[in-house]
């Protein structure tokens, strides 16, 4: 399920060239190991929490409960705006119960305030399969 990045093949900088100033020289170690102890755990935090909650629910109430809930999650995840616009994910938040809590992910790195935006026409054409 996890793809192993190969050094030199997919540089993270813009224009496809390795951005030495921001990410350092290319090396396999750089791309395989996380540079910060929290990087991996933070990337998968919501997933891991959901997994834990679902497995507890399965143990308490049986298989039907997480199945039904996951179906609702899948439906809620599909309610999105156009590809280049940030959507509020209100239904997903309500299902998870995080609609009345504030955490660091609401204050820092808000995608609505990000400096980079995708090219709108390209993204919509890609989504509709016209590209």
Partner 1 sequence: PAAGFNFDNAARNAAFDGLFEGGQTPKPMKTGTTIAGVVFKDGVVLGADTRATSSEVVADKMCAKIHYISPNIYCCGAGTAADTEKTTDLLSSNLTVFSLNSGRNPRVVMAVNILQDMLYRYHGQIGANLILGGVDCTGNHLYTVGPYGSVNKVPYLAMGSGDLAALGILEDRFKHDLELEKAKELVRDAIHAGIMSDLGSGNNIDICVITKQGVDYIRPFQESEYKETRKPKYKYRPGTTPVLTKKVVPLKLEVVEETQQRMDTA
Hey, what long-range contacts does 68-73 have (CB within 8 A, 24 or more apart)?
A: 69/95
* CB of residue 81 to partner 1, shortest distance in Å: 16
CA distance 90 to 109: 18
Which residue, 71 or 122, has its beta carbon nearer to partner 1? Answer: 122
Tell me how far the alpha carbon of residue 131 is from its chain's centroid. 24
Is residue 47 a contact point for partner 1 (CB under 8 A)? no
Among 10, 13, 35, 62, binds partner 1 (CB under 8 A): 35
Hey, what long-range contacts does 108-116 have (CB within 8 A, 24 or more apart)?
A: 111/86, 112/86
Tell me how far the alpha carbon of residue 128 is from its chain's centroid. 21
Scanning 18-26, 61-69, 77-85, 121-129 for contacts with partner 1 by CB under 8 A, the matching segment is 18-26
Is residue 109 a contact point for partner 1 (CB under 8 A)? yes
Scanning 38-46, 54-62, 64-72, 77-85 for contacts with partner 1 by CB under 8 A, the matching segment is 38-46
């Amino acid at each position: 399920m996890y793809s192993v990045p190969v050094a030199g093949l997919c540089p993270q900088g813009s224009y496809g060239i390795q951005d030495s100033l921001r990410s350092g020289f290319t090396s396999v170690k750089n791309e395989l190991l996380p540079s910060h102890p929290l990087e991996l755990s933070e990337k998968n935090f919501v997933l891991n929490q959901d997994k834990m909650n679902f497995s507890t629910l399965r143990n308490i109430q049986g298989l039907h409960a997480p199945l039904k809930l996951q179906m609702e999650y899948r439906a809620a995840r599909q309610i999105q705006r156009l590809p280049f616009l940030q959507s509020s994910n209100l239904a997903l938040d309500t299902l998870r119960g995080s609609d009345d809590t504030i955490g660091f992910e609401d204050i820092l790195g808000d995608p609505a305030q990000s400096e980079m935006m995708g090219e709108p026409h390209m993204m919509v054409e890609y989504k509709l399969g016209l590209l």
